[in-house]
Chain A
Amino acid sequence: DSGVTQTPKHLITATGQRVTLRCSPRSGDLSVYWYQQSLDQGLQFLIQYYNGEERAKGNILERFSAQQFPDLHSELNLSSLELGDSALYFCASSVVASGGGKMVEQFFGPGTRLTVL
Chain B
Amino acid sequence: DAKTTQPNSMESNEEEPVHLPCNHSTISGTDYIHWYRQLPSQGPEYVIHGLTSNVNNRMASLAIAEDRKSSTLILHRATLRDAAVYYCIPGDMRFGAGTRLTVKP
| Size of interface on B: residues with Cβ below 8 Å to A | 22
Which residues of A approach B to under 8 Å, CB–CB?
2, 4, 33, 35, 42-45, 48, 56, 58, 90, 92, 98-103, 105-111
> 23 A-B Cβ contacts within 8 A?
A4-B43, A35-B95, A42-B96, A43-B87, A43-B95, A45-B93, A56-B93, A92-B43, A92-B44, A98-B93, A101-B31, A101-B32, A102-B31, A102-B49, A103-B34, A103-B91, A106-B44, A107-B45, A108-B42, A108-B44, A108-B45, A110-B43, A111-B43
B46: chain A residues at CB < 8 Å are: 105-107
Docked complex Cα distance between A75 and B8 (Å): 33
Which residue from chain A places its CB closest to the CB of B27 in the assembled complex? A101
Pick from B32, B34, B89, B93: contact of A58, CB under 8 Å: B93
Q: How far is the CA of A43 from the CA of B36 in the complex (A)?
A: 12
Closest to A6 in B: B43
For A45, list chain B residues within 8 Å (CB): 92-95
State how many angstroms separate the Cβ of A73 from the closest Cβ of chain B. 17
B residues within 8 A CB of A103? Answer: 32, 34, 49, 89, 91-93
Q: A98-B92, A102-B31 are in contact. List 7 more A-B contacts (CB 8 A).
A: A43-B95, A45-B92, A45-B95, A56-B92, A100-B30, A103-B89, A103-B91
Complex Cα spacing A9 to B87, Å: 24
Secondary structure at the B interface, as helix, strand, loop or mixed, is loop
Selected contact of B44 from candidates A48, A90, A100, CB within 8 Å: A90
Q: Which of chain A's residues have a CB closer than 8 A to the CB of B28?
A: 101
Q: How far is the CB of A10 from chain B (nearest CB, A)?
A: 13
Q: In the assembled complex, which residues on chain A have CB atoms less than 8 Å from the CB atom of B42?
A: 108, 110
Of B30, B44, B93, B98, which is in contact with the most chain A CB atoms at under 10 Å from its CB? B93
